[in-house]
A and B are shown apart, each in its own frame.
Chain A
Amino acid sequence: MTDISSFSLSGLRQALDGKQVSAVELAEAALNRAGQHASLNAFLHIDPELTLTQARAADERIARGDVHALTGIPIAHKDVFVTRQWRTTAGSLMLKDYVSPFDATVVTHLANAGAVNIGKLNCDEFAMGSGNENSAFGVCRNPWDPQAVPGGSSGGSAVAVAAGIVPISTGTDTGGSVRQPAALCGVSGIKPTYGTVSRFGMVAFGSSLDQAGPLARHAKDLVTVLDTISGFDPMDSTSLQDCLGTPNVAGRVQQAFDKASAGYREGGVRPLQGLRIGVPREYFGAGLNSEVAAAVEAALVELEKLGAVRVAISLPNTELAIPAYYVIAPAEASSNLSRYDGVRYGHRATAYRNIDEMISRSRAEGFGAEVQRRILIGSYVLSQGYYDAYYLQAQRIRRLIVDDFHQALSTQCDIIVGPVTPDVAKNIGDNNEDPTADWLADIYTLGVSLAGLPAMSVPCGFGRNGTRPVGLHIIGNYFDEGRLLAVADCFQQHTDWHTRTPDIQS
């Protein structure tokens, strides 16, 4: 019963409510499994006492019937969500021993629901990276193949779910950091519409792009978690009060999902009857690995079988998303990361002659290579004389990309489907001599982030002789998370990719 890897949330819920298992037992099982798979390096901080205290409180809630869908369910948080009880490092030496005096809003919502935190998850330093190789605390390994990266930056979040340590986890997505590791680890993950989930308490990377999102094995489980963490937050000025007429409160995603699912159930054997799926020509170009292409194509055929209609569309500015993103995100990051100066908290150099040297040495020692690279790029593109040519130009491209998606989603199709990544997970250490090579692999995820649209990844096959997972990218219009999740859930009712589990060697 405590082997949660084969259970969905609803299964766990029934077991908890039926007293077949306790929250403490589930928490202990998750902690044990985390320990068994320590070599994956998914967790940065585990504190069993804290976890068990939460689990006991959840059991008490269950005993008195005060139950939310997540009460007693083990969860783990990417280490960019600040927590009062667990350290928060953002994968950086800069924050090696940092303890926040407050919890992130996402963490608070989940704690209020009674979810039990198993610990903090490994990630690329300040969420910058797509292989989890930029963590100051060591690479995180893909449970399907320990030689492979898990993807990033929410690598630990994907690994912890794929390895069956926790049924659900939180991640953050700035340019694909939820969708890409979900794809490479064979789990489901969603990045909701920008502004629907509070950024308060998320260590900032690119503020206009950062958005929290959950990962889970089952798309249906994402509904519960996303619904719980969504909602207007007065502490975040970019958080939305209203989603095109629907208040941004808990229940919005669940209701939209339920409504869409009910409609699909009426369709019988062709549940997705009439659903128009846009397939962008630009997502199937020369850079796409043939095994990934084949898996995505097979998924499209499956969706057509379920009644969906395939529509060829074009997103002409797809390639421009790469330079635009790698100007805007570093520009924002260069400013966001200025606060790490060793003056008030975080790493402080021990040897310095004056305040300027204290700050520059603290930053040189505390930040890793990729973070420094992006700070330099960001500072450069914001400099006098370069601002117009880079930053403003990138903002103009961002506008074009928004228009591309708008054009497609308002006139041609209901959702857009394609690959999440051009290839399956690479080997740990590949591309290290050319750090920007990884940036090109973000081509399918960046545009969505720049546009602020919701998008998710669901498992749809394997490459490399069936050893490395492939993810299916499902992109929707603003606030259409409910429909995306319903389509993904429908797909998962007719496929079993998401139920496959890796045989972990450890």
Chain B
Amino acid sequence: MKWEIVIGLETHTQLSTQSKIFSGSSTAFGAAPNTQANCVDLALPGSLPVMNRGAVDRAIRFGLAVGGTVSPRSIFARKNYFYPDLPKNYQITQFEIPVVVGGKIRFFVGDEEKTVNLTRAHLEEDAGKSLHDTFKGPQGEPATGIDLNRTGTPLLEIVTEPEMRSAAEAVEYAKTLHGLVVWLGICDGNMQEGSFRCDANVSVRPVGQKEFGTRTEIKNVNSFRFLERAILFEARRQIDVLEDGGTIIQETRLYDDVKDETRSMRTKEDAHDYRYFPDPDLPPLIISNEWIEQVRADMPELPVLRRERYETELGLPAYDAAQLTVTRGVSDFFEATMTRLPAEQAKLASNWIMGELAASLNREEREIADSPVTPEDLARLVQRVADGTLSNKAGREVFSAMWAGEHDRDVDAIIEARGLKQVSDAGAIGTLIDEVLAAHPAIVEEYRAGKQKAFNSLVGQVMKAGKGKVNPAQVNQMLKEKLG
């Protein structure tokens, strides 16, 4: 039987506010345990939550960026459950009416374009952390420590429709969303510190079946690689269970990256009744049009707009335009490069950024902001390729030299020093061609007899004679002329 995987993602993005969503304490990461928790975070008697407008600003930003509806009136609810790192023993979240409804994310999987619809995005507070393994009690005995520094950190939970059909698609969605929230400046995107965490709802069904299968939820995956592996494992597990005649239980599972497997955390039977109800300590969140317009005025140019501009003004293919706008960093790099190049060279610049530059960054696990090759450097390199000074191959050599910092990354100096200048002088190329034609009369005969292959062979000989530095386009053209 052929199976189809169905995936929906819920992503918790930590919003980049200085202080917490309902209290004034700092959200900075890495402080000593429990030093960033005030009376509200500790849920001391008499403390009350006060909404941080900065968190709402960021939610509005997101809503506008994905084309969702910003709710003019949304409600904070209490989600009640007991857990030691949840000091109030309820979480303030949005339940019935979220701050953002709808919206969509567009991205490419390979060369196929996809659109995933968002169900909603809602504001909520994060819980603290329970430290089970690393913590020791006063006598050094194993114990659970509780760190409430993270308590009350603002989160925007972004929920998709169950529209993704492969792990690769889910990963591309997550990467695009990650790029977007960082682009918008609403999240620092630091996945190691937990600023961007995904829950994946996964089910499988026979291809062609309309109804969804029973889903499981994989909690708190904090890397794209693990997300892919967790979904692949979970889908395989479900297919195996079903093919063995079993049934899938609706449950919450945890991905173990060491064993590369998912494990059951809790089943629906022991699921909590969260007893949601509107939080009487917080009035409805009213967002006026003025507020929305204020946020809109402060927004950076959105990736969708840049993408459109790259296609219409620079003539880039849709794929290039999409890839260049996944992250703000790449897009800004491209824009800075293009300030020094004519529009006709946009595709060439795009090729270099998505090719050589991306590969080098990947290899060294660097962010584009830390690239040793600057947009100015890359623009000069692209110019030299465009004007025929460098062949593509020689260009790659120059790029590597620039990356390594040779000659202060001066493109012309590197070309000079390495003797990479492509011969474009008609006289010099003519001489080379004449020599080759004289040396290979047999091949010339074959060509005249109508063998197209013989022409390519002659080009090869000329290139060889020119030690790879002659301009192949020019060789082609002149050779044709000489052969009549």
* A339 contacts across to B, CB distance below 8 A: 43, 45, 87-89
Q: What are the residues of chain B within 8 A of A206 when measuring CB–CB?
A: 280
Instruction: Write the chain B residue with the least CB distance to A203.
Output: B45
Contact A382 B46 (CB under 8 A): no
- Is the pair B281, A98 in contact by a Cβ cutoff of 8 Å? no
Q: How far apart sit A236 and B39, CA to CA, in the bound complex (Å)? A: 13
B428 proximal to A (CB < 8 A): no
Q: Would you call B51 an interface residue if the criterion is a C-beta within 8 Å of the partner chain's C-beta atoms?
A: yes
Q: Are B48 and A101 neighbours in the complex by a CB distance under 8 Å?
A: no
B46 touches A335 (CB 8 A): no
Return the chain A residue nearest B89 by Cβ.
Answer: A338
Interface presence of A234 (CB below 8 A):
yes
Is there an interface contact between A384 and B273, defined as CB atoms closer than 8 Å?
Answer: yes
Q: Report whether A237 and B46 are in contact in the complex, using a CB–CB cutoff of 8 Å.
A: no
Contacts of B226 in A (CB 8 A): none
Closest to A380 in B: B275
Contact indicator B45/A98 (Cβ below 8 Å): yes
Verify B46–A341 contact, CB threshold 8 A: no
Determine if A104 is an interface residue (Cβ-Cβ < 8 Å).
Answer: yes
Contact across chains for B84 and A343 when beta carbons are under 8 A apart = yes
Complex interface: chain B residues within 8 A of A204 (CB): 45-46, 281
Chain B 77-88 per-residue mask, 1 if CB under 8 angstroms from chain A, else 0: 010101010011
B242, CB-defined interface residue at 8 Å: no
Given contacts A234-B50, A341-B82, contact A382 B277 (CB under 8 A): yes
* B90 CB-CB contact with A under 8 Å: yes
A284 within 8 A of B: no
Which residues does chain B contribute within 8 Å of A102, judged by CB atoms? 39, 44, 46
The dominant DSSP class at the A interface is: loop
A391 on the B face (CB < 8 A): yes
Known: A338-B82, A338-B89. A101 touches B44 (CB 8 A): yes
User: Which residues of B, 266-283, contact A by the 8 Å Cβ criterion?
Assistant: 273, 275-277, 280-283
A81, A82, A235, A236 interface centre (most CB from chain B within 10 Å): A235
- Could you tell me if B277 and A237 are in contact, using CB atoms closer than 8 angstroms? no
B304 within 8 A of A: no
A-B contacts counted at CB < 8 A amount to 97
- Give, as a whole number of angstroms, the nearest-CB distance from B234 to chain A: 27
Indicate if the CB atoms of A200 and B84 lie closer than 8 Å. no
Quick one: CB contact mask for B307-350 with A, threshold 8 Å, 1 for yes?
00000000000000000000000000000000000000000000
Q: Is the Cβ of B281 less than 8 Å from the Cβ of A391?
A: no
Tell me which residues across on chain B come within 8 A of A414, comparing CB atoms.
Answer: none
Q: How far is the CB of A440 from chain B (nearest CB, A)?
A: 25
Candidates B44, B276, B282, B283; contact of A345 at CB < 8 Å: B44
Contact B80 A338 (CB under 8 A): yes
- Interface residues in A304-353 by Cβ distance below 8 A to B read 331-332, 334-335, 338-339, 341, 343-345
Residues of chain A contacted by B275 (CB below 8 angstroms):
334-335, 379, 382-384, 387
Interface residues of B in 39-59 (CB under 8 A from A): 39, 42-51
Question: Complex formed: what's the CA distance from A331 to B278 in Å?
Answer: 11
> In the complex, which of the residues A207, A237, A356 has the most CB atoms of chain B within 10 Å of its own CB atom?
A237
Interface status of A95 (Cβ within 8 A of chain B): yes
A338 to B45, CA, bound (A): 11
Q: Which residue of A lies closest to B277 (CB)?
A: A382
Q: What are the residues of chain A within 8 A of B49 when measuring CB–CB?
A: 237
Q: Distance in Å from the Cβ of B436 to the closest Cβ of chain A?
A: 84
Q: Is A202 an interface residue (CB 8 A)?
A: yes
Cα distance, A5 to B275, chains bound together (Å): 49
Residue from B43, B82, B280 within 8 A of A208 (CB atoms):
B280
Q: Using Cβ atoms and an 8 Å threshold, which residues of chain A touch B146?
A: 343
Chain A CB within 8 A of B144 CB: yes
Looking at B39, B44, B88, B282, the one whose CB has the most chain A CB atoms below 10 A away is: B44
Q: Which residues of B contact A236 (CB under 8 A)?
A: 48, 50
Name the distance in Å between B131's Cβ and chain A's nearest Cβ.
14
A237-254 interface mask toward B, CB cutoff 8 Å, 1 = contact, 0 = none? 110000000000000000
Q: How far is the CA of A497 from the CA of B279 in the complex (A)?
A: 42
Contact among B43, B82, B144, B280 with A344 in the assembled complex (CB-CB below 8 Å): B43
Across-interface contacts of B281 in A (CB, < 8 A) = 204, 207, 237-238
Is the CB of A389 closer than 8 A to any CB of chain B? Answer: no
Q: Give complex CA distance A434, B87 in Å.
A: 35
Question: Which one, A82, A104, A331, A344, contacts B277 given CB within 8 A?
Answer: A331
B273 touches A383 (CB 8 A): yes
Minimal beta-carbon separation of A229 from chain B (angstroms) = 15
Which residue on B lies nearest to A209, using beta carbons?
Answer: B280
In Å, the complex CA distance between A215 and B144 comes to: 47
Residues on the B chain within 8 Å of A202, using CB: 46
Whether A237 touches B50, Cβ cut-off 8 Å, given contacts A208-B280, A355-B144, is yes
For A338, give the chain B residue with the smallest CB separation.
Answer: B89
By the criterion of a CB under 8 Å from any partner CB, how many residues of chain B are at the interface? 29
User: A359, B45: Cβ atoms under 8 Å?
Assistant: no
Tell me the complex Cα distance, A235–B22, Å: 10
Q: Is A189 at the interface (CB under 8 A from chain B)?
A: no
Q: A199-B48, A383-B275, A391-B277 are in contact. Are A341 and B84 (CB under 8 A)?
A: yes
Q: Do A100 and B46 have beta carbons less than 8 Å apart?
A: yes
Instruction: Report chain B residues within 8 Å CB of A207.
Output: 280-281
Query: A161 in the interface, Cβ–Cβ < 8 Å?
Result: no
Which A-chain residue is minimally distant from B50 (CB atoms)?
Answer: A237
Closest chain-B Cβ to A80's Cβ sits at a distance in Å of 8
Q: How far is the CA of A202 from the CA of B39 in the complex (A)?
A: 13
Q: How far is the CB of A387 from chain B (nearest CB, A)?
A: 7
A204, B50: Cα distance in complex, Å: 15
CB within 8 Å for A82 and B82 given contacts A102-B39, A237-B282, A238-B280: no
Residue of B nearest to A208 (CB): B280
A344 to B51, CA, bound (A): 24
CB-CB under 8 A from A345, the residues of chain B are: 42, 44
Q: Which of A82, A95, A332, A344 has the most CB of B within 10 A?
A: A344
A126 and chain B: residue at smallest CB distance: B45
A202, A206, A341, A379 — most chain B CB neighbours (10 Å)? A341
- The answer to whether A88 touches B45 (Cβ under 8 A) is yes
A238–B282 alpha-carbon span in the complex (Å): 7
Chain A residues lying within 8 Å of B50, measured Cβ to Cβ, are 234-237
**Does A201 lie at the interface of the complex (its beta carbon under 8 Å from any beta carbon of B)?**
yes
Write the nearest CB–CB distance from A485 to chain B, whole angstroms: 27
Q: Which residue of A lies closest to B40 (CB)?
A: A235
Residue in contact with A104 in the complex, picked from B46, B88, B90, B276, CB distance below 8 Å: B46
How many angstroms from the CA of A387 to the CA of B276 in the assembled complex? 9
Please tell me if the beta carbons of A237 and B45 are within 8 angstroms of each other in the complex: no
Look across to chain B and name the residue whose beta carbon is closest to the beta carbon of A356. B82
* Cα-based distance from A236 to B22 in the complex (angstroms): 11
Alpha-carbon distance between A387 and B80 when the two chains are bound, in angstroms: 14
A90 located at the interface, meaning its Cβ lies under 8 Å from any Cβ of chain B in the complex: yes
Q: How far is the CB of B138 from chain A (nearest CB, A)?
A: 15
Q: 1/0 contact trace for A70-109 toward B, CB 8 Å?
A: 0000000000011000001010000100101110100000
Residue of B at shortest CB range from A341? B89
For residue B38, give the distance in angstroms from its CB to the closest CB of chain A: 9
Q: How distant is the Cα of A344 from the Cα of B80 in the complex, in angstroms?
A: 18
Known: A237-B282, A335-B80. A82 touches B48 (CB 8 A): no
A398 to chain B, nearest CB (A): 12
A362 CB to closest chain B CB, in angstroms? 11
A469 to B150, CA, bound (A): 53
Give the docked Cα–Cα distance between A207 and B276 (Å): 15
Docked Cα-Cα span, A461 to B8, in Å, equals 69
Out of B45, B87, B88, B280, name the residue touching A95 (CB < 8 Å): B45
- In whole Å, how far is A489's beta carbon from the nearest beta carbon of chain B? 32
Beta-carbon nearest neighbor of A206 in chain B: B280
For the complex with contacts A88-B45, A334-B80, A341-B89, 13 further pairs of A-B residues with Cβ separation under 8 Å are: A100-B45, A200-B48, A201-B46, A203-B46, A208-B280, A236-B48, A236-B50, A237-B50, A338-B88, A339-B43, A341-B82, A344-B87, A387-B277
> Can you list 11 contacts pairing A with B, beta carbon distance less than 8 Å?
A82-B44, A100-B44, A100-B46, A101-B39, A102-B46, A200-B47, A204-B46, A343-B84, A355-B84, A355-B144, A379-B275
